[in-house]
Amino acid sequence: MTQGILDPLNDAKKRANLLKAAWRDVEVVEIEGGHCVHDERPQETSQAIAQFILRVSGKKTQGGGREKEVAVPVSATVGSG
């Protein structure tokens, strides 16, 4: 779980501690950000999510701690008119 530890809408530290106490396997990554930590600190949030995916998938990182970047095709369909 990524948690904006400076979230003014809730007691973020208390919430993180409750999650740690409730689930043995939970990993809480506290990020210096607010309620929308993914908007405020996208790089740190993405890194935490990527590390989680690597951990649960059993993959090892290469070199500087990153998997090889792969271009992902993005397509969008706009309604026909």
CA 25/CA 28 separation, integer angstroms: 10
Q: What mean pLDDT is predicted for residues 43-52?
A: 91
- Band (pLDDT 50/70/90 cuts) for residue 46 is very high
Q: pTM here?
A: 0.60
Contacts of 31 (CB under 8 A, 6+ apart): 2, 3, 4, 5, 37, 41, 44, 45, 48
Radius of gyration for the alpha carbons in the chain, expressed in angstroms and rounded: 17
Task: Answer with the residue of higher pLDDT: 70 or 14.
Answer: 14
